[in-house]
Structure 1
């Protein structure tokens, strides 16, 4: 309706301007016509001769009426310099005095004016008639304002017809545009769209999950349709527009459902879903939830659970040994019972002494003791090399050291346990010139460079099935190594191993070797 009101107003203004322009053009045409007729008649030799005749009116009246009829003017008056009329459209006015301005004509100038005379308001021209250098008569030719108005009135039907046609076409185009806009806005009015945008913007800024919308069929250099504040924070995205290439590659390639991804120092649960509209895919929506603290808590819980399982196993084995020694005592075999008990004690104490002597950090030592029992339960022999020495976890913090060592050992135990025969895992920790070196070797197949690269981007596992989030271990290790400007390398010969080197001195990124 507002569009229609505006169109009517514009068309009405156009009609008014057209009428004004038509009236101005009609006045201009009338001035031009009367000036030409008056000048032509004044310059005619017959006019000057007729004025000097005994009866000028008898000669000039028929001629001026013929000229008036031929040119469409309303009057042609020839007069003496004293205003006495020789001719007029109304014969009864011949001989009377001409009303109007003649001073400029007596001075030899042809001019036009609008004046109210005997026939009413008119546009008239007055021209001098010369005989030599003297003005012997004047010629006045005029068109009444009524005739000019009739001309404008005659053009009004055409003006209104064109305006009406334009209004109909514009209204039709406006209606078509309105319907198209309604289809594109799902029938929502502007106020509804504004409220919907305000609510959407407020919700996107307030929700605690990262939200990203990727347009369908978009290339790496194309812009994302939507990135909320939480997504920018979780993925460390830049302000302003964001390209698809700015997202982590593993995130763009997510297959769907809840998946764990490592992004910087964060562990994210990412869900990827297609956006469908009327049966076609118009984009993809990614939601990301921060599970870093939960993952850390689960990791600590896994360590506690592993330690509890080790204690349970040890308690079970201790009970068996105790029953054996009690039975030996009951049978009177005291020497054999003492030898059996002290041998087992020496073996356990020897393992504790070996690890605590090599590793002075109590948390790391406890981790290795727990992993030793876990490996033994799975039929894997875990050993620490004789040259292992660890007086402190620097440059890593204690939690970082447990994350790095624990994930490397877990992967090695999994790999060795899956192989036929007796598996083994060997740990070597030592300080080198200016850094800390951790090497975990095993009897498994190992990783190549491509597998290690995949592990650093998303996480890697050789397991076909397993708990959600399996395969994040190496990715978490890689993030810690990169944060400390270290390196991580894998090899398969002469045995499979992963080596992490962490410099004591903070170097520019990529400067550690």
Structure 2
């Protein structure tokens, strides 16, 4: 048997609830109307009986030899005028003076009269000659003593007739309420049916379980934002990549301590395609899609390892380019030597070759002797060749000296390589002869890296923004290098200072025993 959809189950449940409520309300209304009708009848018969008992005609007629002659027409007139079913005037022993059926006059009254004989008003439901009736028996006083009694009643049949007319109104109201309830229930059910795609509870439960499993299993971060920039969902990978706490749902994105550039990009309108953002721990590739009238879906991938590999590849390319430049220079020098020999100027050829070889060897010996970290030494040699090709004088300061360090060479290359590249660009833009000074030395404790250029320097706003993603003195497509420098330094607990002694002076201090915070990796699924 096909499972009922959630909407159909809700429809049936709501119909039952509405029917029970309307039916129960109708029964209560009917019972209340019955009670009110009976109470009204009791009050009415008491009022009529007291009025008859207080009438002067009644007391005067009792003094005559045949009271029935006067009282019967009087009682019938009052009965017709008030709408009650009977008015019986009787002696204190219960003998009737009046009755709707004249044949009952002179016979004994059927009912209780003790309270009336004692001067009190009695109300009761009793079966008399006209059938069950609600009646009142009141005393008639003369000279402070009971001389007669008056009984006034309304038959139960008459009360039932009046109640029937009220029952019709109750039924009509109940039917109208039931109809309105069913119509409202139908529209609510139709809305639920559209929103649940006609799926049953079991199917919805399975879908939610699948979605939960997917959210926990995927390596990509997923973030759902409402229209006000409040986080409505963040999966496990998203929390790890962003470095946020478990309970981020319901909090504004701006309160999570994320980089302002990332927050501004996500809360602004419009889609985002493959934007790279640098946090304190990761390099993220971010995508965002708008969900009309709801908010946005944000996905992000960990780009840290790929960016590091890209940096290493750039370093290798730089080394290759440096080797190419050196090979080109060596070829030029060799051609010069060969030409001098062909011109029979052998002595000059020997001196020229020796001098060039000594200069190159001295430079290599100095770098290798001062920088015992092989990766940094290779980087500096490559950058010197690149500087020569770009027309920049690269100066390795005399105090440069560093032994092998426990810090990973990849991160040292990231920091120093990007600082030198940035300094090259700045120095070329300056008005003076382009020059870059580099210092790499062991400090107490740790490692100190200083790179200074003769460029135009940085103003206060640029200094604050220098280590954010996208900042560059050139076009907006650049600007990731210094952001990666800042990320690497923060990861090791180091510091960066920006001075203006020459042009721009970047000073990085890394602790000797600094250990990087583990880069987040999305869980394999739980």
TM bucket, shorter chain: 0.7 to 0.9
Structure 2: how far apart are the matches of 1:476 and 1:172?
A: 63
**Which residue of 1 is the match for residue 93 of structure 2?**
82
1:274 equivalent in structure 2 = 290
Paired residues of 1:459 and 1:474 also in contact (CA < 8 A): no
Cα 1:108/1:190, change in 2 over 3 Å: farther
TM-aligned CA deviation for residue 211 of structure 1: 2.6
Q: 2:251 aligns with which of 221, 224, 242?
A: 242
Q: Which residue of 2 aligns with 1:490?
A: 498
3-state DSSP of counterpart to 2:231: coil
* More deviation, 192-201/251-260: 192-201
Contact 1:393 1:401 in 2 (8 A): no
Q: What does 1:461-480 align with in structure 2 at a 5 Å threshold?
A: 461-464=472-475, 470-480=478-488
The match for 1:375 is 387
2:75 is aligned to 64
Matched, 1:256 2:268: no
* CA shift for structure 1 position 168: 4.2
- Indicate conservation of the 8 Å contact 1:445/1:492, yes or no: no
Kept after mapping to 2: 8 A contact 1:446/1:496: yes
Alignment of 1:361-510 (within 5 A): 361-391=373-403, 393=405, 397-416=408-427, 423-430=434-441, 436-464=447-475, 470-484=478-492, 486-492=494-500, 494-502=502-510
Cα distance, 1:324 vs structure 2: 6.8
Residues of 1 paired with 2:131 and 2:166: CA distance?
A: 23
| Inter-partner Cα distance in structure 2 for 1:163 and 1:367 | 90
| CA-CA distance at 1:290 after TM superposition | 0.7
Render the CA deviation track for 1:243-281: whole Å, top value 9, x for unaligned. Answer: 132343211333832121101120011123434x4xxx7
Q: Residue 102 in 1 paired to residue 109 in 2?
A: no
Residues 1:224 and 2:231 are matched in the alignment: yes
List per-residue Cα deviations over 1:360-391 (Å, max 9, x = no partner).
33332232223223333333332201122334
Pick aligned residue for 1:35 from 46, 63, 71: 46
In 1, Cα distance between equivalents of 2:55 and 2:476: 117
Whole-Å separation in 2 of the counterparts to 1:159 and 1:147: 19
| Separation in 2, partners of 1:471, 1:167 | 69
SS at match of 2:308: helix
How many Å apart are 1:197 and its aligned residue? 5.4
Corresponding position of 2:268:
none
8 Å Cα contact 1:81/1:135 also seen in 2: yes
In terms of mean alpha carbon deviation, does 46-55 or 472-481 score higher?
46-55
In 2: Cα distance, 1:205 partner to 1:478 partner = 31
Summarize deviations over 1:264-313 as a string: whole Å, max 9, x none.
Answer: 120011123434x4xxx764433211111111122122222322333444
1:457 counterpart SS class: coil
- Residue 440 of structure 1 and its aligned partner are, at CA, apart by 1.0
The more displaced of 244-253 and 39-48 is 39-48
Select 1:22's aligned residue among 11, 27, 33: 33
- Using structure 1 for the length normalisation, give the TM-score: 0.83
Q: Give the Cα separation in 2 of the matches to 1:252 and 1:314.
A: 46
2:103 maps to 1:92: yes
The CA deviation string for residues 146-189 of structure 1, in whole angstroms up to 9 with x for no partner, is: 00010011223333333344444444555555566677x38656
Cα distance in 2, alignment partners of residues 189 and 59 from structure 1: 84
TM-score of the aligned structures, taking structure 2 as reference length? 0.81
1:85 to partner: Cα distance: 2.2
Displacement of 1:423 in angstroms is 3.6
C-alpha contact 1:209 1:288 (8 A) present in aligned 2: yes
Structure 2 distance, partners of 1:433, 1:293, is 31
Which position in structure 1 is the counterpart of 2:158?
A: 147
- Give the Cα separation in 2 of the matches to 1:481 and 1:168: 72
The 1:282–1:155 alpha-carbon spacing in structure 2 relative to 1, beyond 3 Å, is closer
For residues 443 and 216 of structure 2, the distance between their equivalents in structure 1, rounded to whole angstroms, comes to 49
Post-superposition offset of 1:477: 1.5
CA distance in 2, matches of 1:96, 1:41: 20
Residue of structure 2 equivalent to 1:511: none
Q: Which moved more, 1:15-24 or 1:259-268?
A: 15-24
Count residues with an aligned counterpart. 493
**1:136 alignment partner, one of 147, 159, 178:** 147
Q: State how far apart, in whole Å, the 2-side matches of 1:232 and 1:349 are.
A: 52
1:343 partnered with 2:355: yes
Q: C-alpha separation between the residues in 2 aligned to 1:129 and 1:493?
A: 124
